[in-house]
Amino acid sequence: MASIRTAGRTLVAALGAALLLALGPAPAAAQDGAASEQELPETGPPGEQPVLRAISEAPSADSIRSYVEAMVGFHTRHTLSDTVSDTLGVGAARRWVHGKFEEISSRCGGCLDVRYQRFQIEPDGERIPDTTMVVNPVAIQRGTTHPNRYLVISGHLDSRVTDIMNDTSFAPGANDDASGVAGAIEAARVLSQYDFNASIVYMGVTGEEQGLYGSSRAAELFKERGWHVEAMLNNDMIGNIQGIDGVVDNTVVRVFSEGTRADETDRMATIRRYTGGENDSPSRNVARYINGIADDYVRNLDVMMIYRLDRFGRGGDHRGFNAVGYPAVRFTEAHEDYEHQHADVRTEDGVEYGDTVDEVEFGYAAKVTGLNAASLAAMAWAPKPPSGVEIDGAVDPSTTLSWDAIDPARAPNLAGYRVYWRKTTSPTWEKSVFVGDTTEWTLENVVIDNYLFGVAAVSERGFESPVVFPGPVGAFTPASWMEDDDGG
Ligand SMILES: [Zn+2]
């Protein structure tokens, strides 16, 4: 048996039990035709990944507290605030984040490419009165086998008080959003201890409160460069557990995702109306993926998937990524407290207002960071999400999915694919089968009308990509690239 195992899982799976028994030394059990547990054929890669549990538990509440306190110490991080001082304002704050990324990189032999992204924003007649440089500190951990695949984690560094144009008053922004930036820094500290197949980008963006400038320009820049961004995880307010609704809860985090893709064309909308997919944008399937990671690997944390781009009528940094066609979702605490957001720090009628450090629950922020880090690691170790996914089966008792082969040079760890399906009313994927290294699979007697389908790529170690819904509706590729996509 040992020699056959080393021949590779795929081969073993294809050979089947009978052949294994014929090739192996005749075990006692085989003589009466019964296979023992050790003799059963392997049917696919393993499902359990202990390293993801280790990664999810690695973020430290104390580290996150120290990062948040350092950022609050800059008095204000308003986008229009001082950029020259070493102790006050957004300039000092972004140099501090850059320095943290450099420090982490120095501990992994320079594994992070640390830089600034600088964007000149012209006066917009609203929240940018004069030409302003919006600057994002960024660290890039290059993938080993497929570096043009990118996974992004981000928080926004800028803060504000009640008056959005006030760039001098104390604006601690401890939860909104030093907590999210701290999560990105801590994810870099944890994940820089591993090598991944795909690249990971850690960002602290600015200009969020003035109009989502830093993130939107970054998304446009990534797209201009042809980067295949497979998921952007926006962390905005991940530290509050006492809600204005009276609920205290440190066990739930919300993940917001758009239902139909922002870059959907008229032609794509027509296809969607005929074949479905209003609940299967790539962003929505990234949210399902994160939900599954939480269930499997993160203790005492559940994902509340919110089927909505963002909080009602409000915006966040994932939106600019969605706009250019990249999958992107938003993590936010389950219970917000509006008295501690965007407010002047003050006490009024016995009520304390302001986004201060004492309101942040660092253990909860560490757990949410752990979910981010485990999700990034799982996607970065998995082969890229399948492209060219198509489906056929109308007026037929069976359903056939097909997809493009992945260039083996870019996915040397590919074991094969897993086909998923679920009832049309189910929020999450319900059934699946590992189908090996093929580019087509027929589900016999599974009627196309009654289910929704998708396919994920699986590594030899069992790391899976998010599930890709068929057609342009579900593709992990910007619509404007679909004509000439080479799969990254
Ligand atoms: Zn925010």
What separation in Å is there between the alpha carbon of 15 and the centre of ligand 1? 54
CA-wise closest residue to 252 among 299, 302, 290: 302
pLDDT at site 151: 98
Average of per-residue pLDDT across 356-378: 97
Average of per-residue pLDDT across 466-478: 97
pLDDT at site 395: 85
What separation in Å is there between the alpha carbon of 91 and the centre of ligand 1? 18
Using the predicted structure, report yes or no on whether residue 109 has a pLDDT greater than 70.
yes
Average of per-residue pLDDT across 11-28: 43
Q: Can you count the helices (H) and strands (E) in the chain?
A: 12, 16
What separation in Å is there between the alpha carbon of 233 and the centre of ligand 1? 14
Integer Cα distance of 331 and 156 in angstroms: 12
What separation in Å is there between the alpha carbon of 156 and the centre of ligand 1? 7
Inter-residue contact 455 to 442 (CB < 8 Å): no
Hey, what are 299's tokens? Answer: 């203790």
The band of 484, judged by pLDDT with boundaries at 50, 70 and 90, is low
What separation in Å is there between the alpha carbon of 238 and the centre of ligand 1? 10
Beta bridge partners of 130: none
- Tell how strand 228-235 and strand 328-333 pair up: parallel
Lowest mean pLDDT among 94-103, 336-345, 396-405, 418-427: 336-345
Integer Cα distance of 101 and 96 in angstroms: 9
Using the predicted structure, report yes or no on whether residue 95 has a pLDDT greater than 50.
yes
Using the predicted structure, report yes or no on whether residue 129 has a pLDDT greater than 50.
yes
Hey, what are 16's tokens? Answer: 């089947």
Hey, what are 240's tokens? Answer: 């509050």
Collapsing DSSP to helix, strand or coil, 407 comes out as coil
**Residue-wise over 17-33: b if at least 16 C-beta within 10 A, else e?**
eeebbeeeeeeeebeee
Lowest mean pLDDT among 26-40, 256-270, 378-392, 427-441: 26-40
Strands of 165-263 (E only): list them. 199-205, 228-235, 252-257
Burial of 207 (0-12, 13-18, 19+ CB in 10 A): buried
Tens of pLDDT, residue by residue over 307-318, are 999 999 889 999
What separation in Å is there between the alpha carbon of 12 and the centre of ligand 1? 51
pLDDT at site 37: 85
pLDDT at site 394: 83
CA-wise closest residue to 241 among 77, 367, 76: 367
pLDDT at site 305: 98
Residue with tokens 């899976």: 464
Residue with tokens 């999210």: 180
Using the predicted structure, report yes or no on whether residue 25 has a pLDDT greater than 80.
no
Average of per-residue pLDDT across 174-179: 97
What separation in Å is there between the alpha carbon of 158 and the centre of ligand 1? 8
What separation in Å is there between the alpha carbon of 226 and the centre of ligand 1? 28
What separation in Å is there between the alpha carbon of 478 and the centre of ligand 1? 26
Q: In what order do the strands lie in the sheet with 228-235?
A: 112-121, 132-141, 199-205, 149-156, 228-235, 328-333, 252-257, 302-307
Beta carbons within 8 Å of 41's beta carbon, 6+ residues apart: 12, 13, 15, 16, 17, 20
pLDDT at site 31: 58
What separation in Å is there between the alpha carbon of 173 and the centre of ligand 1? 8
What separation in Å is there between the alpha carbon of 436 and the centre of ligand 1? 43
Average of per-residue pLDDT across 74-89: 98
The band of 20, judged by pLDDT with boundaries at 50, 70 and 90, is very low
What separation in Å is there between the alpha carbon of 281 and the centre of ligand 1? 24
Average of per-residue pLDDT across 291-316: 96
Average of per-residue pLDDT across 27-39: 71
Q: What are phi and psi of 89, to 5 degrees?
A: 95, 175
What separation in Å is there between the alpha carbon of 425 and the centre of ligand 1? 32
What separation in Å is there between the alpha carbon of 299 and the centre of ligand 1? 26
Inter-residue contact 203 to 116 (CB < 8 Å): no
Integer Cα distance of 179 and 129 in angstroms: 28
DSSP 368-397: HHHHHHHHHHHHHHSPPPP-S-EEE-TTSS
Average of per-residue pLDDT across 222-244: 97
What separation in Å is there between the alpha carbon of 171 and the centre of ligand 1? 13
What separation in Å is there between the alpha carbon of 297 and the centre of ligand 1? 27
| Average pLDDT of the chain, as a whole number | 92
Chain Cα centroid distance, residue 102: 23
- Tell how strand 112-121 and strand 302-307 pair up: unpaired
Domains of the chain are 2-39 (no CATH), 50-381 (3.40.630.10), 390-480 (2.60.40.10)
What separation in Å is there between the alpha carbon of 317 and the centre of ligand 1? 8
Average of per-residue pLDDT across 343-362: 93
- Entry pTM: 0.92
What separation in Å is there between the alpha carbon of 8 and the centre of ligand 1? 48
What separation in Å is there between the alpha carbon of 236 and the centre of ligand 1? 5
Using the predicted structure, report yes or no on whether residue 283 has a pLDDT greater than 60.
yes
Query: Alpha carbon of 2 to those of 7, 9, 38: distances in Å?
Result: 9, 12, 11
What separation in Å is there between the alpha carbon of 54 and the centre of ligand 1? 29
What separation in Å is there between the alpha carbon of 237 and the centre of ligand 1? 6
Hey, what are 405's tokens? Answer: 């082969």
User: Residue 74 has what DSSP assignment?
Assistant: T
What separation in Å is there between the alpha carbon of 164 and the centre of ligand 1? 13
What separation in Å is there between the alpha carbon of 316 and the centre of ligand 1? 7
